[in-house]
Amino acid sequence: MKKDYDITKTKLIIWDLDDTFWDGNISEGEVQFKPEVIAFVRELTLKGIMNSVCSKNSFEDVENKFVEKGFKDVWDLFIFPSIGWTPKGERVKNLIKLMNLREENVIFTDDNISNINEVKFYCPKIMTATPEQIGKMAEELYLVNDYDFDYTRLKQYKILEKKENAKSCTASNEDFLRASDIKICFKKDCLENVERIKKLIARTNQLNFTKFRDENIENTIKNSDSAYIIAEDKFGNYGICGFYAMRNNKLIHFLFSCRIMNMGIEQFVYSYLGKPELEIKGEVSSELNTPVDWISISDNLTIKEKEEKEETNINILFKGPCDLYSALSYIDAECNIDTEFPYWNKQLVYILAHTHTAFIEQTHKFPAEKLNELTKRFPFPNADEFKTKFFDSKYNIVFLSLLTVTHSGIYINKTDGSYVLFGYADCDITNENNWEKILAPIPEEARASNIPMLQQFKKEYIFGGNPPVDLVIQNLHYIKEHLNGDLVLILGSEIPTDKVQAGYENMAQRHKILNDAVRREFKDKVDFIELTDLIENDDDYTTCINHFSRRVYVKLAEKITEISNKKLEKSCLKLK
């Protein structure tokens, strides 16, 4: 199937599940989640692109499968999931309408061409993709140069989802709007929020009445009557959701975010301004002359924390497994937060080694030429794993999780002491007895050709240990010596669980061995966050000992906030 999508124009991907999102059919037996698709959905959300589902299945069966397989966090990333047995065409059309989006900004994925054709009939302008094209879509995601680390758009759509659920229980739409307690606020300090206004102008179409892509918006603001609009109702705050600029009683700009569509805000504002002259360009999704009397004006609505954040010279870095995102999602920061977590690069290589203490050390110790040389010998490491700002002098505090070092296999070059990371800490690839296990996932016809590489690797490297206690202590001494800010170490849980994934066997014991050594060596020199102290029972683990329930991540967020504010001697972090 030819390419029928443009990831740079995409605001929503609607996923089929059976034989698309996962391998297999849930109604016929076991299914296998595709790790690359799971990672893609997470990365899409970070880029501000939403995900939904349109599947012919039982809603309860699907939700239970996500929970059972340890992907409850991914299930929570979907908005307006449509799961049932009715045809998909009308369901997709209604889903797009519910989200106030345009067909041309949506990609529908499905392995069944008849489903694609049916959806195309109801939504002629929708983009489509087959399972074989998902990898290419993920590869092209780097073209989207936008990040939404706070999941702002997801949270706004979750509010919309909540409203639609409440709306279905209300007698009429107008009754619902009156009960929603909608307030708006006009703000005149446009130049102070000009970057947010620029994004609003660039992204809005359906409720952009003039379609003027202003290249000199600062000048327009200075020479016009202009204001941005903040909206709020009982379901949440929508931040800056509208903007107008008017000169000589004619609107130059009049635009609103689609997330407030059908609330009556654009009609109310137009009437409030006295219905000035407005030349509407192109198609819009609203009739401005509809009377609205369920909205009130407030003088004290505020912009969301992220939008009103002032410049600060306080910087905090979080480095370690990407699970830490779950803890950060419960924290509001009045300082700069940077993160270095595992990710899929644009070549679809999973970049993980950079979170290991050994890699952190050598990115600082070795020159770029030496690091580049390391990428030439074997399929690992990847050049992206040497990209870091870890030793930047701007960081007041660095939070470093040690969870990577207990399950990743680290190897030391016999000649120059450089490091590479491969596989798991419980499987030494320099031991020939493990080669059969290592080569098992490779097609049988390709195994023999990999033996010479393993033999050469064995000649050049020695195994760092399981866990690599002495090496980690050495790395941490180097890190502490060369780090400008304070170091906070996150230590793995020592409470065993029966929930085990490959490479995580006996992990509680490994954590204890490493933790004991780190505590002895760095007592009174660094701060520790003990994950052991946050575990109450086995329900606090999800898929394994390194993946936790929401309760644990909230507790972790509390510890991070407490330590940061104490060290900074001011309340820079707070719980949401």
- List, by residue range, all CATH 3.40.50.1000 domains of the chain: 7-147
Q: Which two tokens stand for residue 69?
A: 């397989």
pLDDT band for 307, please (50, 70, 90 cuts): very low
Which residues, listed in sequence order, are joined to residue 530 by a DSSP beta bridge?
491
Rg (CA), the chain: 27
Q: What is the mean pLDDT of residues 277-296?
A: 90
> 71 and 38 in contact (C-beta within 8 Å)?
yes
- List, by residue range, all CATH 3.40.630 domains of the chain: 155-306
Quick one: which of 539, 573, 537, 533 has its CA closest to 555?
533
> 7 and 140 in contact (C-beta within 8 Å)?
yes
Q: Which two tokens stand for residue 24?
A: 């297999």
> 52 and 12 in contact (C-beta within 8 Å)?
yes
Q: Is a pLDDT exceeding 80 seen at residue 56?
A: yes
pLDDT at 4: 86
Instruction: Report the range of poorest mean pLDDT among 51-60, 84-93, 137-146.
Output: 137-146
pLDDT band for 309, please (50, 70, 90 cuts): very low
Q: Which CATH superfamily is domain 7-147 in?
A: HAD superfamily/HAD-like (3.40.50.1000)
Does the domain at 155-306 match CATH 3.40.190? Answer given as no
Q: Is a pLDDT exceeding 60 seen at residue 128?
A: yes
Cα separation, 536 vs 129, in Å, equals 44
Q: Sheet harboring 295-297: ordered strands across?
A: 250-256, 236-247, 225-233, 182-187, 295-297
Would you call 125 exposed, middle or buried from its count of C-beta atoms within 10 A (0-12, 13-18, 19+)? exposed
Q: Is a pLDDT exceeding 90 seen at residue 171?
A: no
Architecture field, domain 315-425+466-575: 3-Layer(aba) Sandwich (3.40)
Whole-number average pLDDT of the chain? 89
Q: Are strands 12-15 and 106-109 parallel, antiparallel or unpaired?
A: parallel
Cα separation, 68 vs 62, in Å, equals 10
Q: What is the mean pLDDT of residues 93-118?
A: 91
My answer on whether omega of the bond before 381 falls inside 30° of 0, hence cis, is: yes
pLDDT at 472: 97
Query: pLDDT by residue (tens digit) across 330-389?
Result: 788 888 888 888 876 656 577 889 999 999 999 999 999 999 999 988 888 999 999 899
pLDDT at 417: 94
pLDDT at 66: 94
Quick one: which of 380, 472, 459, 367 has its CA closest to 415?
459
